[in-house]
Amino acid sequence: MKQENKVTYEVQNLSCANCAKKIEKRINEIDGVSEASIDIINKRLTFNNNSNKNNEDLLKEMNKIADSVEPGTKFVEVKKRFYEHEEETNEKTILIRLIIGGILFILGYIFEHLNIYSKAQIILFIVSYVLIGYEVIYKAIRNMIKGNLFDENFLMSIATIAAIYVRSYPEAVAVMLFYEVGEYFQDRALDRNRESIRELVAIQPKVAYVKDGTTIKEVHPAQVNINDVIVIKPGDLIPLDGIVLSGTSEVDTSKLTGESLPRTVEPNSEVLAGYINYNGLLEVKVTKIYEDSAVSKILELVENAQSKKAKVEKWITKFARIYTPIVILLAILITFVPMAFVENYVFNDYLYRGATFLVVSCPCALVISIPLSIFGGIGASSRAGILIKGGNYLEILRDAKIMVFDKTGTITKGNFVVTKVVTYDFDETELVNLTVSAEKLSNHAIGKAIAIYKEINQ
């Protein structure tokens, strides 16, 4: 048997939380695959492969599953995080489509209330409906062909088509418009949270200066190999973990350790990616490749935080699998059961009620609400500089009775501040001016604190 290994793939073209749960469930049923988890927020699939199949064969099988549940969804190799991340969906195109569809809807609504151009009203509503909802309808039809009825695409399509059947055109378009607008803003909210979390690790270096004989080449840190020698200029971010070969300097380690006091480094001292070099020129021998550096491991930890799901997330997943078919059954009952005992039964009226029930019972908001809330909490924490390793940790935090803090950067701000000047028979203003003149070009934290004191107090 092949030794178990953890695999991560990027998820493309998947925004339906309910569909993600279905795909996740079917992937976990593949022989040799365990702990498969789709993080719809960070667009990642992680699983353990302890089968005799290689990852490429499993990828093909998983892509078939994904496309059968949600047409167009696929898994690909994770893109290197140091390259600019391409947009998977064209947000501008979606926004333009919604705006044009919305304008046509408003025009049709105005024509209806002014009671003019009755045929024009219908044409405007139908064109608006198709423009706004064609993607939902297309996915619903594709899923129906593959025998997958229980998703929000089917619910929204059948409900709005029923509304069109009973000539409630404005309601059909409005429901589809609000649904798609909600999906658009949900995606934007997720994107904002992703960005706020990425800002937590904004210490990620973008360039390294490699010494090659007598020349120095500027390259991306990912292109640097172990044992290469890199040059760190004063004020530069250290791009890779390594050992100092030559030079003496002070480095700011606060981004990684929280300690505000600069640390002196000299030959044979260890330095980590993310440190800031203050005042000396350093030559460093690289000991770890970029992806194994401390700062990359922190970024990986943040990106994988949502894969550690809270118990309530797992519960809502199981609930949704039961909830959706029950909703469809109840809508059918609402439509047809009154036929047996309501004397003045009007099919169109009860069809409208059944369609209304489908719309308000769509499970997508239910399934996405808890993961989105947890991810929002992780994102909000990251903006305050707090790294939460996963939703499960956020959930158990409510039971915490005692909090233990590392002092620097939590209880204290992590910045040096001059609180008092003791002169011993020396003029305070002259002493501060002399000290600032000596320290004004320094990047040292204490020197900066003295300069700030002068600006505030003199």
- Catalytic annotation, residues: 406
CB-based contact 421:431 (threshold 8 Å): yes
Sheet holding 242-246, edge to edge: 215-219, 208-212, 229-232, 282-286, 242-246, 270-271
DSSP string computed for 253-292: -HHHH---S-EEE-TT-EE-TT-EE-SS-EEEEE-S-GGG
For residue 26, the tally of other CB atoms under 10 A from its CB is: 17
CB-based contact 129:172 (threshold 8 Å): yes
Q: Which two tokens stand for residue 43?
A: 């667009």
CA distance 354 to 358: 6
For the chain, helix, strand, coil in percent to 5 are: 55, 15, 35
Cα 283 to the chain's mean position, in Å? 37
Q: Which two tokens stand for residue 5?
A: 């290994």
CA distance 451 to 438: 10
CA distance 436 to 125: 72
Taking only Cα atoms into account, the Rg of the chain, rounded to an integer number of angstroms, comes to: 30
- Which letter, b or e, does each residue of 124-143 get, where b requires 16 or more Cβ atoms within 10 Å of its Cβ? bbbbbbebbbeebbebbebb
Half-sphere exposure of residue 121: CA atoms within 13 angstroms, side-chain side? 15
Q: How far is CA 21 from CA 179, 235, 261, in A?
A: 20, 47, 47
**27, amino acid identity:** I
Cα–Cα nearest to 224, from 240, 206, 203: 240
Hey, what's the torsion of the CAs at 409, 412, 415, 417, to 10 degrees?
Answer: 180
- The angle formed by the CA atoms of residues 405, 411 and 417, to the nearest 5 degrees, is 140
The residues, ordered by sequence, that sit 6+ positions from 63 with a Cβ below 8 Å of its Cβ are 74, 75
For residue 95, the tally of other CB atoms under 10 A from its CB is: 13
